[in-house]
Chains A and B, each alone.
Chain A
Amino acid sequence: MADSATPLESLVPPAELRRGLQVPAHRSLGWLTDHLTAMPEGKTPLWWWVLFIPAAFCAAVVLPTMLVYLISTGVGVWGNNVPVAWGWDIINFVWWVGVAHAGTLISAMLFLTRQHWRTAIGRAAEAMTVFAVMCAGLYPAIHVGRVWFAWYLFPIPLTTGMWPQFRSPLMWDVFAVNTYLVVSSLFWYMGLIPDLALLRDRAQTRVRKFLYGLFALGWTGSARQWHNYEKAYLVLSGLATLLVFTVSSIVGMDFATAQLAGWHETIFPFYFVAGAVFCGFGMVLVLLIPLRKWCHLEDIITMRHIDRVCKMTLMMSCIMGYIYLMEYFIAWYSGSPYDSWVFGHRLFGRYYWFGGWIMLLVNGLMPQLFWLKKVRQNLVLIFVIAVLINIGMWFERFTIIVGSLYQDFLPSNWHPYYPTWVDACTFLGTLGVFFTMYLLFVRFLPMIAVSEVKAITPHADPHHPLGGAKGAKP
Chain B
Amino acid sequence: MNPMPYGLIAEFDSPAAVLRAAEKVRDAGFRRWDVFSPFPVHGLDKVMGFKNSLVGWFALVFGGGAFIGSMLMIWFMNDFDYPIMVGGKPMFSAPQALVPSYILLVLASAVGAFVGMVALNRFPRLYHPLFKNSRFAMVSRDKFFLVIETSDPKFSETETRALLESAGSTHLELAVE
List residues of chain A with CB under 8 Å of any chain B CB: 1, 28-30, 33, 155, 161-169, 171-172, 175-176, 178-179, 182-183, 186-187, 190, 194, 197-198, 200-202, 213-214, 217-232, 235-236, 239-240, 242-243, 246, 250, 451-452, 454-455, 459-463, 467-470
Chain A residues with CB below 8 A from B123, complex form: 217-219
Shortest distance from the beta carbon of B97 to any chain A beta carbon, whole Å:
6
Residue B3 at the chain A interface, CB threshold 8 Å: no
Q: Tell whether B172 is near chain A: CB-to-CB under 8 Å.
A: no
The residue from A164, A167, A176, A468 contacting B15, defined by CB atoms under 8 A apart: A468
Binding site for A on B (CB under 8 A): 13-17, 19-20, 34-45, 48, 50, 52-56, 59, 73-74, 77-78, 81-82, 84, 86-87, 89, 96-97, 99-100, 102-104, 106-107, 109-111, 113-114, 116-118, 120-121, 123-128, 130-131, 137-142
Of B53, B84, B102, B104, the most chain A CB neighbours within 10 A belong to: B53
- Cα A219 to Cα B118 in complex, Å, equals 10
Contacts of B89 in A (CB 8 A): 167
Binding site secondary structure of chain B: helix
Interface of A, helix, strand, loop or mixed by DSSP: helix
With A228-B117, A242-B106 known as contacts, the answer to whether A455 contacts B128 (CB < 8 A) is no
CB-CB < 8 A to A221: which residues of B? 36-38, 139-140
The listed residue with most B CB atoms (<10 A of its CB), out of A178, A186, A214, A468, is A468
A162 vs B83: C-alpha distance when bound (angstroms): 10
Once the chains are docked, how many angstroms separate the CA of A298 from the CA of B103? 39
Indicate if the CB atoms of A462 and B16 lie closer than 8 Å. yes
The 29 listed contacts between A and B (C-beta, < 8 Å) are: A30-B141, A33-B140, A155-B77, A163-B81, A169-B99, A182-B107, A183-B106, A186-B111, A186-B114, A214-B126, A218-B124, A218-B126, A220-B36, A221-B38, A223-B50, A224-B50, A224-B121, A227-B45, A227-B53, A230-B53, A232-B113, A232-B117, A246-B106, A250-B99, A250-B103, A454-B142, A455-B39, A461-B15, A462-B15
- Kindly list 5 other residue pairs between chains A and B, CB separation below 8 angstroms, not including A222-B35, A231-B56: A201-B138, A218-B126, A242-B106, A460-B42, A462-B14
Which of A183, A214, A452 gathers most chain B CB within 10 Å? A183
Task: Given the known inter-chain contacts A186-B114, A451-B39, please indicate yes or no for A246 contacting B102, CB distance below 8 A.
Answer: yes
